[in-house]
Amino acid sequence: MKCQFCEKPATFHITELTEPAGPQVMHLCEEHAKGFLQKGATPPVSAIAGALAKQIGQVGDDLEELDQKECPVCGISFFEFRNSGRLGCPYDYTHFESDLRPLLVNVHDKTKHVGKRPTRSAGTADSFARMIGLRREMEEAIEREDYERASEIRDELKAMEDPIRTPPSDPDETT
């Protein structure tokens, strides 16, 4: 979503409940949010606005640094994740773990999954990262027309994918 006043991405979404006609929702970039929060406001609102403006200053510096962080496997930056809301690969959960933890707690109130899980093996983030790297390497081998190496990588990928697709056998079952 873009800022209401410019083309920058809206990173602050402010809902004012002071209007008699109903809530007013504003989508602002960091620059316009600072301006909005610093302009004159009524006493109770100005205290909240001051606290938010102080937090924006602290968060803004940290956020700029965090936005530059990239996943070594898929190359997605934290900035791209914030804008799209989607991660690029399973390894991102490991790479951005410390940065995603507060978000997960805020959204789900927990950081551990509770509930049903797929019956098939999902693999680990490391194995998925390895598979992504192999696919990239296979594409490069194909571009170089090194088809022998590409077929070796294809076979290695197939061997890695088979245990993921095959559900684990029941140890109580007799064959």
pLDDT exceeds cutoff 90 at 131: no
* pTM of structure: 0.41
SS3 content of the chain, % helix, strand, coil (to 5): 55, 10, 35
The amino acid occupying position 138 is M
Query: pLDDT band at 58, cuts 50/70/90?
Result: very low
Backbone angles phi, psi at 170, to 5 degrees: -80, 120
| Average pLDDT taken over every residue of the chain | 75
- Per-residue pLDDT, 60: 58
**What would the pLDDT profile of 70-83 be if each residue is shown by its tens digit?**
888 888 888 888 77
Q: Which residue has the tokens 């809301």?
A: 85
Length of the chain: 175
pLDDT exceeds cutoff 80 at 24: no
Where residue 79 falls (left for φ over 0; alpha for ψ -120 to 50; beta otherwise) is: alpha
Question: Which residues neighbour 9 within 8 Å (Cβ) at sequence distance 6 or greater?
Answer: 1, 2, 3, 29, 82, 83
**What would the pLDDT profile of 134-158 be if each residue is shown by its tens digit?**
999 999 999 999 999 999 999 998 8
pLDDT exceeds cutoff 50 at 5: yes
- Per-residue pLDDT, 105: 79
What does the domain layout of the chain look like in residue ranges?
125-165
Distance separating alpha carbons of residues 140 and 161, to the nearest angstrom: 20
Cβ contacts of 54-57, under 8 Å, gap ≥ 24? 56/12, 56/30
Hey, is 42 helix, strand or coil?
A: coil
pLDDT exceeds cutoff 80 at 19: no
